[in-house]
Chains A and B, each alone.
Chain A
Amino acid sequence: MAMAAENLVDENPNIAEHKIIARDVSVYYGEAQALKSVALDIGRNQVTSLIGPSGCGKSTFLRCLNRMNDVIDGCRVVGDITLDGEDIYDPKLDVVQLRARVGMVFQKPNPFPKSIYDNIAYGPRIHGLGEAKADTDEIVERSLTRAGLWKEVKDRLDKPGTGLSGGQQQRLCIARAIAVNPEVILMDEPCSALDPIATARIEELIDELRENFTIVIVTHSMQQAARVSQRTAFFHLGDLVECGDTQQLFTNPNDERTQGYITGRFG
């Protein structure tokens, strides 16, 4: 498999073009290996989608990129991942700083049991952005506006975030991630708990956010991957099978496993 993966990436990747460069990344949960020597480049200001059958390691790979795997007992990551050329697994690197640069949105909307305002202000506060109330107010308004939620909630900022609808909650979580001004946003199946209309809103939003952020999205829906992403990576049983231009991958895949998956023969 190492062979196949090598064909897909440059030997000397270009840092200017690629925000994140992962090489030879393997992940183990205890004894079990969940990712096998994955090599993948994430393009700057692009949307990269990760697709593949359940349990193939998409979420695991995503969590490597902001070191959320650190939180899981018994999880071990080997390999090199760089963000703008900096090794993110460098022992000297501060995880807190990393996570401020690489935000994450989860499968299930998980607003804190706090007011809408405090949900957004939480990140900036812990990172010492916006000490003054006016600054925080501004960050909250800007983040909610960019997440397309401002008009809907501006009169109820002091109401609990958990009182919003599922789609609104997910946009709140996106706004919360944007508020700390990250460079990369990771999204793990952000629409799988939402209805089609809310999903469409979020997809639109992802497309707008591409201008300022680098986005990596895990999705179960191939239509969604085709709609929102420029590049797509197909995972299968812990291997990165194929990665390339979204259009090309869906119309003319190189690997027969990819072919099988996108035509619905398995997964």
Chain B
Amino acid sequence: MSLLILAATLLLLTLAGYYMGRGRSVAVSQGVTHRLHSRPQYYGVYVALWCGMPSFLLLALWLALEPQIVEMILVSNLPASILDLNPDQRGLIVNQITSLALGGIVGGNITPEIEAAARDYAGMRQTGFAAMAVLVLCIAIFGLALGRKQIATTLRARNRVETIVSAVMIVASTIAIATTIGIVLSLLFEASRFFTKIPVTDFLFGLQWSPQTALREGQVGGSGAFGMLPLFAGTLLITFIAMCVAVPVGLYSAIYMSEYAGPKMRAIAKPILEVLAGIPTVVYGFFAALTVAPFFRNTGDALSLDVSSESALAAGIVIGIMSIPFVSSLSDDVMNSVPQTLRDGAFALGATKSETIKQVVLPAALPGIVGSVLLAVSRAIGETMIVVMAAGLAANLTVNPLEAVTTVTVQIVTLLVGDQEFDSAKTLSAFALGLMLFVVTLTLNVIALRVVRKYREKYD
């Protein structure tokens, strides 16, 4: 609570810094602001940064480090009788002390020593906080004064503010890049642990997936086969079916919307199509499981075909429907951005509307269309919920869309749901699958980029 008040005070000070800086700059210029090096706002931001940045940084640092430091002091002050205990028990007592100090409910027997330590601990934290608060406020006020004092018509406030802003942007992008690298590294690391248990070749080329391994010695039922092919085959089968639905429907509706529909029709149809993109996949999932899959099974029965109640076809079609707006909306946008003068050029040569669309508009829009299809493909590959609900969990290696299949993402989910040991081959295989999925989507993206670039070189 007092932390909140402190933060609010700092914010207020920063805000005050902004107005003081701005006002001061106007005063310094004697009201003729174009004599200033920068616009008055920049002087405001400049002072605000002097006031807010160091103090908030210090506050953040303190919040991050203080608990550890105080705990270290606490441990070093403990009586020898406790220090001599083994690390586990000592940890338990330290926990007791801290929760006692914070007024929590504490189990176990509380000796006077523990009580004394808890009092010390609480005291330390309070003093620490008070000292820090005073320090932070002093720094803020000092910064404010310092910033304000520097204001002169020659102060290059804009350049300095912009330097800081660009530093912030660099930090932000570094965080994004570092996170990506971190995720990839952890995938690699965990996957390599998996490959020490299961040979890489078994994983890459195995035709069987049944990740149950024996937990205990001599347990029956789990031999453990980790061949990824059935999973990737299932993923590809479902993605293929989905694209068979999404690409033609999406592309044709994009062509209709951008080339044939009047402005009124477009204004209605486009938002409706985009609503499709906003439906949660779970909703599509039960649509697939409760409507589409039974429909295919009944139709199959009527035609005396053997359709399982969970089929790749049902999941694929529903994923395809889900992906329509990705293809249609993006393709519509790119086709719209094809300049009207190109169409006019074709019309003026005597091309019909359909010739113009096929031979001029579509080729010009191709890079964007390829991009939109690839976006839909990666959505389909990554789709989990619909597959769980409509295509089942059985890892069949098949190209028959009427059978149940499973996909990589679904298996990753089932591997990690529930209580698991995090070093069994079963859970580690999830990381290997994730790595493979990552490699596949990355390759797809690279290929797509190549295709698009080649096309661009030729025509742009």
Q: Could you tell me which A residues sit within 8 Å of B by CB distance?
A: 66, 68, 71, 73, 95-100, 103-104, 106, 108, 110-115, 122-123, 126-127, 160, 162, 173, 176-177, 180
The B334-359 residues at the A interface (CB cut-off 8 A) are 339, 341-352, 355, 359
B460 at the A/B interface (Cβ < 8 Å)? yes
Residues of A within 8 A of B262 (CB): 73
Instruction: Judge whether B276 is part of the interface by a CB distance below 8 angstroms.
Output: no
* A180 B458 Cβ-Cβ under 8 A: no
B460 touches A160 (CB 8 A): yes
Q: Would you call B339 and A110 a contact (CB within 8 A)?
A: yes
In-complex Cβ contact of B459 among A97, A113, A176, A177 (8 A): A113
Query: Residue of B at shortest CB range from A94?
Result: B350
Contacts of A68 in B (CB 8 A): 344, 347-348
Q: Which residues of B contact A127 (CB under 8 A)?
A: 350
Alpha-carbon separation in the docked complex, A113 to B364 (Å) = 6
Chain B contacts for A115, CB-based, 8 A:
458
Asked whether B350 lies within 8 Å of A126 as measured between CB atoms, the reply is: yes
Q: Say whether B53 faces chain A, with CB atoms less than 8 Å apart.
A: no
Choice from A66, A73, A100, A112 contacting B345 with Cβ under 8 Å:
A112
Task: Known A-B contacts: A98-B350, A113-B364. Give 17 more (CB < 8 A).
Answer: A71-B344, A71-B347, A73-B262, A97-B350, A103-B349, A111-B345, A112-B346, A112-B363, A122-B346, A122-B351, A123-B350, A126-B355, A126-B359, A162-B459, A162-B460, A177-B349, A180-B349
- A113 to B360, alpha carbons, bound, how many Å? 8
Given A73, A160, A180, which contacts B350 in the complex, CB threshold below 8 Å? Answer: A180
Chain B residues, Cβ within 8 Å of A104: 344, 348
What mask results when residues 449 to 460 of chain B are scored 1 for a CB within 8 Å of chain A, else 0? 000000000111
- In the assembled complex, the Cα of A115 lies from the Cα of B363 at a distance in Å of 12
Decide: B363 and A113 in contact? CB cutoff 8 A: yes
| Residue ID in chain B nearest A108 by CB atoms | B341
A66 to B345, CA, bound (A): 12
User: Distance in Å from the Cβ of B260 to the closest Cβ of chain A?
Assistant: 12
Q: Nearest 8 A-B pairs (CB), nearest first?
A: A104-B348, A99-B350, A113-B459, A110-B341, A100-B350, A123-B349, A110-B345, A96-B350
How distant is the Cα of A40 from the Cα of B352 in the complex, in angstroms?
29
**A112: nearest chain-B partner, CB-CB:** B360
Q: With A and B bound together, what is the CA distance between A209 and B346 in angstroms?
A: 22
What residues on B are CB-neighbors of A111 within 8 Å?
345
What is the bound-complex CA distance between A96 and B356, given in angstroms? 12
**B259 CB → nearest A CB, Å:** 11
**A94 → chain B, closest Cβ, in Å?**
9
User: A99, B347: Cβ atoms under 8 Å?
Assistant: yes
**List of A residues within 8 angstroms of B341 by Cβ:** 106, 108, 110
Contacts of B344 in A (CB 8 A): 68, 71, 104, 106, 110
7 sample A-B contacts, Cβ–Cβ < 8 Å, listed by A number: A68-B347, A73-B262, A103-B348, A104-B348, A114-B459, A126-B359, A176-B349
Task: Bits for B29-42, please: 1 = Cβ < 8 Å to A, else 0.
Answer: 00000000000000
A68 vs B359: C-alpha distance when bound (angstroms): 19
Give chain B nearest CB distance to A36 CB in angstroms.
25
Whole-angstrom CA separation of A115 from B350 in the bound complex? 20
* CB-contacts of B214-272 with A (<8 A): 262
A140 to chain B, nearest CB (A): 14
Q: Are A99 and B348 in contact (CB under 8 A)?
A: yes
CB distance from A109 to the nearest CB of B (A): 9
State how many angstroms separate the Cβ of A113 from the closest Cβ of chain B: 4
Cα distance, A95 to B351, chains bound together (Å): 9
Which residues of chain B are near A73, meaning CB under 8 Å? 262
Chain A residues with CB below 8 A from B345, complex form: 106, 110-112, 173, 176
Q: Which residue of B lies closest to A73 (CB)?
A: B262
Give every chain A residue within 8 A of B349 (Cβ-Cβ). Answer: 99-100, 103, 122-123, 126, 176-177, 180
Q: Which residues of A lie under 8 Å from residue B359 when comparing CB positions? A: 122, 126
Closest to B263 in A: A73
CB distance from A43 to the nearest CB of B (A): 22
**Which of A71, A162, A177 has the most CB atoms of chain B within a 10 A radius of its CB?**
A71
> Which residues in chain B, 362-382, are within 8 Å of chain A measured between CB atoms?
363-364
Looking at the assembled complex, report how far the CB atom of A1 sits from the nearest CB atom of chain B, in whole angstroms. Answer: 30
Q: Inside 8 A of A180's CB, which chain B residues have their CB?
A: 349-350
* A110 contacts B342, C-beta separation under 8 Å: yes
Alpha-carbon distance A162/B460, docked complex (angstroms): 6
* B351: A residues at CB distance < 8 A: 96, 122-123, 126
* A71-B347, A113-B363 known; A160+B458 contact, CB < 8 A: yes
B459 touches A96 (CB 8 A): no
A99 → chain B closest CB, angstroms:
4
Q: How far is the CA of A71 from the CA of B346 in the complex (A)?
A: 12
Please give, as numbers and ranges, the residues of chain B lying within 8 Å of A110 by CB-CB distance: 339, 341-342, 344-345
Q: Which residue of A lies closest to B349 (CB)?
A: A123
Question: Measured between C-beta atoms, what is the minimum distance from B321 to chain A in Å?
Answer: 32
Q: How far is the CA of A111 from the CA of B346 in the complex (A)?
A: 10
A127 to B345, CA, bound (A): 15
User: Which of chain A's residues has its CB closest to B359's CB?
Assistant: A122
With a CB–CB cut-off of 8 A, which chain A residues contact B346?
Answer: 112, 122
B334 → A minimal CB distance (Å): 13
A96 to B364, CA, bound (A): 22
How many Å from the CB of B120 to the closest CB on chain A?
77
Asked if B342 and A112 sit within 8 Å, CB to CB, the answer is yes
In the bound complex, residues from chain B placing their C-beta under 8 Å from that of A177 are 348-349
Bound form: Cα–Cα A250–B349 in Å: 34
Which residues on the A side are within 8 Å of B364 (C-beta)? 112-113
Q: How far is the CA of A22 from the CA of B364 in the complex (A)?
A: 37
State A176–B355 Cα separation when bound (angstroms).
16
The distance from the CB of A98 to the nearest CB of chain B, in whole angstroms, is 8
What residues on A are CB-neighbors of B347 within 8 Å? 68, 71, 99
